[in-house]
Amino acid sequence: MAEINLFFIFIGSIGFDLLIGDPRFIIHPVQIIGIYIQQLTNFFINNFKKNKRLLFCGGLFISLSSIVISFMVGKYIEFVFYQSISNLIFGILIFFGLSSCLASKSLTSSVKEISNLIDSNIIDQETENIIREKVQRIVSRDVSSSSLEHLLRASSESLTENSVDGVFAPLFWIFIGIVFMRFSIFLPGPLSLGFSYKAISTLDSMIGYRYGPYKYLGFCSAKIEDYATFLPSRLVLLTLPLVSSKIKKYFSIIEKSYFDGRKYDSPNSGISEAIFAYTSGIKLGGESKYNNEKIEKPIINSNGEHCTKDKINLICQLIFRLQILWIILFTIIFFNI
């Protein structure tokens, strides 16, 4: 019975994230784990900046300890919830905990806000600076000298890549946890796996870089994130065309997306960007600036159109439709195992 309650809490948390997003009156788990990661990162960089081996070992410790702590917190809440026969307080904790693992509302609303500003009729210097500041918050590249067209492309690339990290990968692992809990309370559950993936994603975004000391400190974090996101990104590749207008070109789109996506160094981000680019009909990739160095990213969907407000709205719609499809599929699987 508890696992049935857990499943409906899961469905409710998805709805809450879609409608409300992250409530400001609650401390987000990412903020807590982020403080822990930042403190350890500062310690290892300040004390062992030139020692590659110690940086690597320090990065391994930061990664494993962050994931284990996140997992144990989630597992404790799940265990008490089951043992207390669906205790209301711990049910609420699971509800908000699962919702915090998802980022549908915050992800789409932030990019829509940028596209709306760029699409406005009057863009003075102050508005342009606001746009750059908002884009810089969601991308790792330097956009200080980017054109408005590039700012839209950067926003679209962030939206398409992070839709997997922020929405579909957490959904996948949370559902796996719900399935596990049908068999044993001692197996990983939705909150423990959801928190674990959120820790992995946070680690990658904070220290998973390939420059300076992060090349060694963040190596393990980046690799773990690659493995944890591998299956969800492929599921998005296979299912996104089903909710798009390009469903008649299903196999062609998947083939092209997989081919273009593999041009990227990351085994997942390229796939994510490519399938959204082909289903929405936009062109991604090109010149970007990272740490004062210009990098030419591989072109995805070379025959696609430039990113626009309408295209960003379409991508947001595709994200929503795919979530609905996944919920339907998860429900069918859950009640038939």
Domain boundaries, the chain: 2-334
Residue-wise pLDDT for 231-278, tens only, equals: 999 999 999 999 999 999 999 999 999 999 998 888 899 999 999 999
- Look at residue 178 in the predicted model and tell me its pLDDT: 94
43-48: long-range pairs with CB below 8 Å, 24+: 44/213, 44/217, 45/213, 45/217
- Look at residue 118 in the predicted model and tell me its pLDDT: 84
**Selected residue with higher pLDDT from 39 and 294:** 39
Average pLDDT over residues 208-224: 90
- Look at residue 321 in the predicted model and tell me its pLDDT: 97
Across 24-34, b (16+ Cβ under 10 Å) vs e yields eeeeebbeebb
| Pure H helices in 84-168 | 88-100, 104-119, 125-138, 148-163
Residue-wise pLDDT for 9-26, tens only, equals: 999 999 999 988 877 767
Q: Is 90 exceeded by the pLDDT of residue 144?
A: no
126: confidence class by pLDDT, cuts 50, 70, 90:
confident
Residues 6+ apart with CB under 8 A from 29: 70, 97, 100, 101, 195, 198
- Look at residue 122 in the predicted model and tell me its pLDDT: 67
- Look at residue 176 in the predicted model and tell me its pLDDT: 96
Instruction: Quickly count: other Cβ atoms within 10 Å of residue 183's Cβ.
Output: 10
Average pLDDT over residues 320-333: 96
The pTM score is 0.93
Lowest mean pLDDT segment, chosen from 144-158, 180-194, 266-280, 321-335: 144-158
Distance of CA 318 to the CA centre of its chain: 15
Residues 6+ apart with CB under 8 A from 43: 58
